Amino acid sequence: MQGSRRERTRQSVAALAVLGIGLTGCFGYNKSAKRWSYAGDSVLILGGGGAIAADVLTKTEPPPCTGRACPYESPISGAMLAGSMLVTAGLIGIVINATRPNVKTSR
C-alpha cells in the first residue's frame, strides 16, 4: 500500500536527515577545528528543530474511524524522529568538543 505524496516526501526528508547524521564528524581536535565543529553542531541542532517544527505545523488530523477495526496511527512521525536525532547529535557533538583537550600539531 502506497502512502500519499506528502507522506513519501516526509519519509524522504527523514531518510536524508538520518544519512546526514551518519556522515557528520563534528568533533574538533585543535582550536580551529573546534570552531568549525561548533558551527556544524549548531547546524545539526537548527536543522533538527526545523524538521520538528515542520512536522508539528503540517500535521493533519486522521479521518474519523467508522468501523470497529480502526488502524493505529502513531503520533510520532519519521520527521519528528529524525529531527530529534539531529538535535541529539548536535548536543552530543557540543559536549564532546567542550570536554576534548586540544591536540598540539607540528605546524
Quote the CA–CA distance of 39 and 105 in Å, as a whole number.
22
Contact 79, 54 (CB under 8 A): yes
Q: Is the pLDDT reported for residue 26 higher than 90?
A: no
In a domain, 21, yes or no: no
In a domain, 32, yes or no: yes
Threshold 0.85, pTM exceeds = no
**Residue 1 confidence class, pLDDT cut points 50, 70, 90:** very low
In a domain, 43, yes or no: yes
Question: Which of 25, 20, 76 is CA-nearest to residue 48?
Answer: 20
In a domain, 92, yes or no: yes
In a domain, 71, yes or no: no
In a domain, 88, yes or no: yes
The number of distinct structural domains making up the chain is 1
pLDDT tens, position by position, 4-14: 777 777 777 77
> What would the grid cell of residue 77 be?
512521525
Q: With pLDDT > 70 as the criterion, what percentage of the chain qualifies? A: 80
Q: Is the pLDDT reported for residue 24 higher than 60?
A: no
In a domain, 20, yes or no: no
Domain that holds residue 95: 26-61+76-102
pLDDT tens, position by position, 69-106: 777 777 888 888 889 988 998 898 888 888 877 777 76
